Amino acid sequence: MLFRILSILGLASLAFAGEPTLDTGNTSWMMTATALVMLMTPAGLALFYAGMTRTKNALNTTMMVFAAYALATVVWVFWGYSLAFGDDVAGIIGSLKHIFLNGIEYSDLESSGYPSYVFVAFQGTFAAITVAIASGSIIERTKFSTWLVFVILWGTFVYAPIAHMVWGGGFLYNAGALDFAGGTVVHMNGGLAGLVAALMIGKRKGYPKTQMMPSSIILTALGAALLWFGWFGFNAGSEFAADGVAGSAFLMTNFAAATAAVTWIILDYIKFGKPTLLGTASGAVAGLVAITPAAGFVGVIGALIIGIGGSVFGFFGVTVLKKIFKYDDSLDAFGVHFIAGLWGALATGLFALKDLAWAGSPLHDHGDRLGQMIVQLESVAVTIIFTAIMTAIVLKVSSLLTGGARVSEEAEVEGLDATIHGEKGFNL
């Protein structure tokens, strides 16, 4: 009996010494958050994009997003996770120590007491939606085979390094860069990749003179609502615990999105004289994008300003910037995700609350807001330069391996639903 008591006390002392124990509350929350983020891609983003696409390409657009989720998840488990969160190599990439999840057991726990396998799954949903975002810039003219190769290479050579630099122990992480849930890692990264790919593949036939009507704005609004719903897991889940910060991130996410949606309605009235459902849905998404890097770091005033700014800058990207430079960003992935994400990444440095954001930052003790802004600018600059160059290389290689990235003129005119998949999105 005495031995049993001493054994129990000994185990207790190990727990107090820092060994994590299973926390069922945190485990339940993180599994739920992972499921919410999963819903965002093959359901939310797919519908959001498909509704904006012409009827003859709606199924192909959905298929590009759906396939990206599946293929990126396979890549993530095979080697992507290890490259993003493995042992640091030169501050830029992780090692292949955990290839095929080698060395990670189902019983391993993260510091807040939930299984490491859940962390792998949660982070994998981020990798998948990031590359799927890029598809919105190149739909209606891209070979599906090229897209599949691009997803594999881009997830390996673009997403994984950026995730490691910012989140996985790389040099931006160590410098104190703040990105709560993916302003640089996800939205700037995916949005800029989309623009680079769109410029390389070229404009759709007839753009911008030919009117290209969306297949269903109702579907787009439904997709935006599912994205909004899933975003609670995206942002609040990034606290990795069911605690007060997660609760704050949950509220700020909802508040910023609502603020941005209302702001876009006002902007529609000012510019067009009419409020549009497409604009309202786009505004909500722009607000969600903007608050993502700041969700767990800011209070109500910060969320309000970030939400309004996300909508204003997103509106500018979609209605002004695109017309000035005349690029064919089909579904405004760059205008909404990159532009609003850029604003959010920088605004995080401006509005982050010291006690929430800087607790583990090397800038915390000095309360160095200027220093934080410099680090935020550095993380933005690194993301832009690295993503632009590496995306161009990856798309070029993908194009060479598949005999060109663009479909034939005949296929583009007929529509990719029929020519690539032999199906129709709508049998009207």
Ramachandran angles phi, psi of 86, nearest 5°: -75, 180
Count CB neighbours of 92 within 10 A. 15
pLDDT above 90 (res 163) = yes
- Does residue 90 belong to any structural domain of this protein? yes
Ramachandran angles phi, psi of 288, nearest 5°: -65, -45
Q: What is the pLDDT of residue 280?
A: 98
Cα–Cα distance, 399 to 391 (Å, whole number)? 12
Contact predicate 236/250, CB 8 Å: yes
Cα–Cα distance, 160 to 83 (Å, whole number)? 6
Q: What is the pLDDT of residue 32?
A: 98
Select the more confidently predicted residue: 39 or 16. 39
Q: What is the pLDDT of residue 10?
A: 44
| Burial environment of residue 237 by CB neighbours within 10 A (0 to 12, 13 to 18, 19 or more) | buried
Q: What is the percent of the chain with per-residue pLDDT over 70, rounded to a whole number? A: 93
Extended strands (E) in 58-195: 88-89, 93-94
Q: What is the pLDDT of residue 355?
A: 79
Q: What is the pLDDT of residue 4?
A: 41
Q: Please name which of 169, 168, 185, 161 lies closest in space to residue 93, comparing C-alpha atoms.
A: 161
Between the two ends of the chain, the Cα-to-Cα distance in Å is 77
pLDDT above 50 (res 295) = yes
pLDDT above 80 (res 359) = no
Average pLDDT over the chain, rounded to whole?
Answer: 94
> What type of residue is 106?
Y
- Does residue 3 belong to any structural domain of this protein? no
* pLDDT confidence bin for 427, thresholds 50/70/90: confident
Extended strands (E) in 195-243: none
- The string of DSSP codes covering 328-395 is --TT-HIIIIIHHHHHHHHHHHHH--HHHHSTTSTTTTTT-HHHHHHHHHHHHHHHHHHHHHHHHHHH
* pLDDT confidence bin for 428, thresholds 50/70/90: confident
Q: What is the pLDDT of residue 160?
A: 98
- Does residue 1 belong to any structural domain of this protein? no
What's the average model confidence in pLDDT over 261-290? 98
pLDDT above 80 (res 5) = no
Select the more confidently predicted residue: 355 or 312. 312
Q: What is the pLDDT of residue 369?
A: 86
Select the more confidently predicted residue: 14 or 86. 86
Q: Please name which of 276, 308, 267, 315 lies closest in space to residue 290, comparing C-alpha atoms.
A: 308
Q: What is the pLDDT of residue 15?
A: 45
Contact predicate 33/236, CB 8 Å: yes
Ramachandran angles phi, psi of 88, nearest 5°: -65, 135
- The alpha-helical segments, DSSP class H, found in 402-414 are 409-414
Domain that holds residue 238: 23-418
Q: How many domains does the chain have?
A: 1
Cα–Cα distance, 49 to 64 (Å, whole number)? 10
pLDDT above 80 (res 365) = no
pLDDT above 60 (res 297) = yes
Which pTM value belongs to this model? 0.94
> What type of residue is 275?
P
**For residue 31, what are the contacts with CB-CB under 8 A and spacing of at least 6?**
114, 118
What's the average model confidence in pLDDT over 325-336? 96
| pLDDT tens, position by position, 189-228 | 999 999 999 999 999 999 999 999 999 999 999 999 999 9
Q: What is the pLDDT of residue 243?
A: 96
Cα–Cα distance, 89 to 83 (Å, whole number)? 9
Label the pairing between strands 88-89 and 93-94. antiparallel
- Does residue 229 belong to any structural domain of this protein? yes
pLDDT above 70 (res 333) = yes
What's the average model confidence in pLDDT over 19-30? 96
The two most distant CA atoms of the chain are separated, in Å, by 86
Q: Which two tokens stand for residue 379?
A: 């993380």
Cα–Cα distance, 88 to 255 (Å, whole number)? 37
Q: What is the pLDDT of residue 356?
A: 79
Looking at the DSSP bridge assignments, the partners of residue 142 are 406
Q: What is the pLDDT of residue 354?
A: 81
- Peptide bond preceding 293 in cis form (omega within 30 of 0): no
pLDDT above 90 (res 18) = no
- Does residue 423 belong to any structural domain of this protein? no
Q: What is the pLDDT of residue 2?
A: 37
Report the alpha-carbon angle 378-345-121, nearest 5.
100
CATH number of the domain bearing residue 140: 1.10.3430.10
Q: Please name which of 48, 71, 50 lies closest in space to residue 59, comparing C-alpha atoms.
A: 50
- Does residue 79 belong to any structural domain of this protein? yes
Q: What is the percent of the chain with per-residue pLDDT over 90, rounded to a whole number? A: 90
- Does residue 8 belong to any structural domain of this protein? no
